[in-house]
Amino acid sequence: MPRLTITLSDERHRALKEAAARQGRSIRQLIEESLDFYGIKTMENASSLVSKARKRSGLDEISALELAVEETRAERQR
């Protein structure tokens, strides 16, 4: 698994550690959950999701992609 180094302010790092401790999770788990929440996916995973949605909905590729973009934006605004 690749490793990543990021630079955070002391306050942000402390807040992240405290949040992880309060929730009984690791910092890594919090970051992974945040990435999932914001829809951060590889192109391969995103393409697979669009393909599955298109098959289920009967939409053509362009319409399915437009719908996926709309839904993603709406979810991010919540």
Of 30, 33, 36, the C-alpha closest to 15 is 30
Q: 3-class DSSP state for residue 62?
A: helix
CA 27 from chain centre, in angstroms, equals 16
Q: What is the pLDDT of residue 7?
A: 96
**This prediction's pTM:** 0.55
Question: Are residues 47 and 75 both part of a single domain?
Answer: yes
Question: Are residues 78 and 58 both part of a single domain?
Answer: yes
Q: What is the pLDDT of residue 49?
A: 79
Residues 6+ positions from 26 with CB-CB distance below 8 Å: 20
The Cα 8–Cα 14 span in angstroms is: 9
Residue count of the chain: 78
Question: Are residues 46 and 36 both part of a single domain?
Answer: no
Task: Please give the residue range of the domain that contains residue 63.
Answer: 41-78
Residue identified by tokens 């990021």 is 6
Number of domains in the chain: 2
Question: Are residues 48 and 58 both part of a single domain?
Answer: yes
Tens digit of each residue's pLDDT (9 = 90 or more) over 14-63: 999 999 999 999 999 999 999 888 888 788 887 887 788 778 888 887 88
